[in-house]
Amino acid sequence: MKRKILVTGGAGYIGSHTTVELQNAGYEVVIVDNLSNSNAKVIDGIEKITGIRPAFEQVDCIDYPALKGVFDKYPGIKGIIHFAASKAVGESVHKPLLYYRNNLVSLLNLLELMPEYKVEGIVFSSSCTVYGQPETLPVDESAPIQPALSPYGNTKQINEEIIRDAIYAGVPYKSIILRYFNPIGAHKTAEIGELPNGVPQNLLPYLTQTAIGIRKELSVYGDDYSTPDGSCIRDYIHVVDLSKAHVVAIERLLEGKSKDQLEYFNLGTGNGVSVLELIRAFEKTTGVKVPHKIVGRREGDIEQIWANPRYANEVLGWKAAETLEDTVQSAWNWQLKLRERGIM
Ligand code: UD1
């Protein structure tokens, strides 16, 4: 058995897929999740796929004594992958204090507990949102950080700074900050996937819910951007590809392969895809139409961003492998499975 990893937010979308990949790679996983935007049934899905039931504690990372209790209950945690966070950009504008409390206090608690329990490394979920609208594309890790457009984005920036300052102060652990582009899709078994509470804010879940008839029509936020077809461009990456990068990152931390005590990697495919292109790719791959209409721009949206993933490719030896077609098909299979199970 390989080492024990604490996965915060492990019942969530990226956390659950990463737990699967960690277990497949032989790691022992302890999940903590407050289930604020997820469901305990996800643990069953993880067990179905891997044959292993991860340890699960319904604990909120902002609750210091409860979090400390997890380290006491599961001695020997060597690494942390910290996903647990509130992540709705729009909601963060209306509930900034909630976002600052959840997203900052969780990290502070973990960083404070790490030395006491001799945890050697932490992988942090950050976002390409820290780059704002980059001047040059594709964007690499040396691009300047720009002022955040939302409290959510600001929490990612501040969390990166907290880790940087802690490392500078000489803490005895290492960190890797992963800046995600746009994760989409689901596990090929359709046992786990993205299940947002309420009306989805992100493109793919809204699109698949429209395709299956739960939503009447998908709104495309703007076709007057300076892009070839006028809609926004993003770098959509299969969630399983993204998850595999976490396994490489934690291994790098725990096996002493990091070049520095703190490293940053962009996780994307390197391909920019517009909203309209994504809709077309979905329709062509699945044969299912997506009713959609063009509406005005969404406040705070970035026009176009996609990754230069070369540094991650070369240094981590990791590369996004799934095609866009397989990725959107996996999202559709997951939506179909939700209906089959009577969940949505
Ligand atoms: C946003 C955040 C990102 C965060 C992620 C997690 C920004 C700039 N980015 O990503 O930091 O990690 O959410 O939730 O704040 N779209 C439509 N119709 C829809 C929904 C989306 O046209 O109904 C378009 C958007 O305008 C955008 C693209 O689809 O161009 C992707 O949107 P979305 O899935 O919400 O992700 P981001 O805004 O890129």
- Cα–Cα distance measured from residue 275 to residue 182, given in angstroms and rounded to the nearest whole number: 12
CA–centroid distance, 9 to ligand 1, in Å, is: 20
CA–centroid distance, 30 to ligand 1, in Å, is: 30
Q: Which atom of ligand 1 is nearest to the CA of 232?
A: 30
- Cα–Cα distance measured from residue 16 to residue 34, given in angstroms and rounded to the nearest whole number: 14
Q: What is the CATH number of the domain that holds 37?
A: 3.40.50.720
Please list, in sequence order, all residues whose beta carbon lies within 8 angstroms of the beta carbon of residue 91, skipping any fewer than 6 positions away: 99, 152
Per the domain annotation, does 52 fall within a domain? yes
Give, using CA atoms, the residue closest to atom 21 of ligand 1.
Answer: 203
Say whether pLDDT at 1 is over 80. no
Residue 73 pLDDT class (50, 70, 90 cuts): very high
Range of the domain at 71: 4-185+236-267
Say whether pLDDT at 277 is over 70. yes
Q: Which atom of ligand 1 is nearest to the CA of 305?
A: 39
pTM summary value: 0.98
- 29 alpha carbon, distance to own chain's centre: 18
| 267 Cβ below 6 A of ligand 1 | no
Per the domain annotation, does 251 fall within a domain? yes
Give, using CA atoms, the residue closest to atom 26 of ligand 1.
Answer: 221
Per the domain annotation, does 171 fall within a domain? yes
| 129 Cβ below 6 A of ligand 1 | yes
Q: Are 18 and 178 in contact (CB under 8 A)?
A: no
Instruction: Provide, rounded to the nearest whole percent, the portion of the chain with pLDDT above 90.
Output: 97
Average pLDDT over residues 177-186: 98
Average pLDDT over residues 75-99: 96
Supply the residues annotated as catalytic: 152
Cα distances from 28 to residues 19, 47, 70, 134, 303, in angstroms, run 9, 13, 14, 39, 41
Kindly report, residue by residue over 127-147, the tens digit of the pLDDT. 999 999 999 999 999 999 999
| 140 Cβ below 6 A of ligand 1 | no
Per the domain annotation, does 155 fall within a domain? yes
In the chain, the number of structural domains is: 1
Kindly report, residue by residue over 202-222, the tens digit of the pLDDT. 999 999 999 999 999 999 999
Q: Which atom of ligand 1 is nearest to the CA of 88?
A: 14
- pLDDT, residue 344, reads 84
Residue 241 sits at the vertex; the CA angle it makes with 326 and 3, to the nearest 5 degrees, is 145
Supply 65's token pair: 């004594």
| 146 Cβ below 6 A of ligand 1 | no
Give, using CA atoms, the residue closest to atom 3 of ligand 1.
Answer: 129
| 232 Cβ below 6 A of ligand 1 | yes
Average pLDDT over residues 50-62: 98
- Cα–Cα distance measured from residue 24 to residue 13, given in angstroms and rounded to the nearest whole number: 17
Beta strands 174-180 and 262-267 are parallel
Per the domain annotation, does 16 fall within a domain? yes
Query: Which one, of 13, 69, 53, lies nearest residue 37 by Cα?
Result: 13
Per the domain annotation, does 150 fall within a domain? yes
Per the domain annotation, does 315 fall within a domain? no
Q: Are 307 and 270 in contact (CB under 8 A)?
A: yes
Per the domain annotation, does 43 fall within a domain? yes
Three-state DSSP string of the chain: CCCEEEEECCCCHHHHHHHHHHHHCCCEEEEECCCCCCCCHHHHHHHHHHCCCCEEECCCCCCHHHHHHHHHHCCCEEEEEECCCCCCHHHHHHCHHHHHHHHHHHHHHHHHHHHHCCCCEEEEEEEHHHHCCCCCCCECCCCCCCCCCCHHHHHHHHHHHHHHHHHHCCCCCEEEEEEECEEECCCCCCCCCCCCCCCCCCHHHHHHHHHCCCCCCEEEECCCCCCCCCCCEECEEEHHHHHHHHHHHHHHHHCCCCCCCEEEEEECCCCCEEHHHHHHHHHHHHCCCCCEEEECCCCCCCCECCECCHHHHHHHCCCCCCCHHHHHHHHHHHHHHHHHCCCC
CA–centroid distance, 297 to ligand 1, in Å, is: 11
Residue 2 pLDDT class (50, 70, 90 cuts): confident
Give, using CA atoms, the residue closest to atom 6 of ligand 1.
Answer: 87
Residue 300 pLDDT class (50, 70, 90 cuts): confident
Q: Which atom of ligand 1 is nearest to the CA of 298?
A: 26
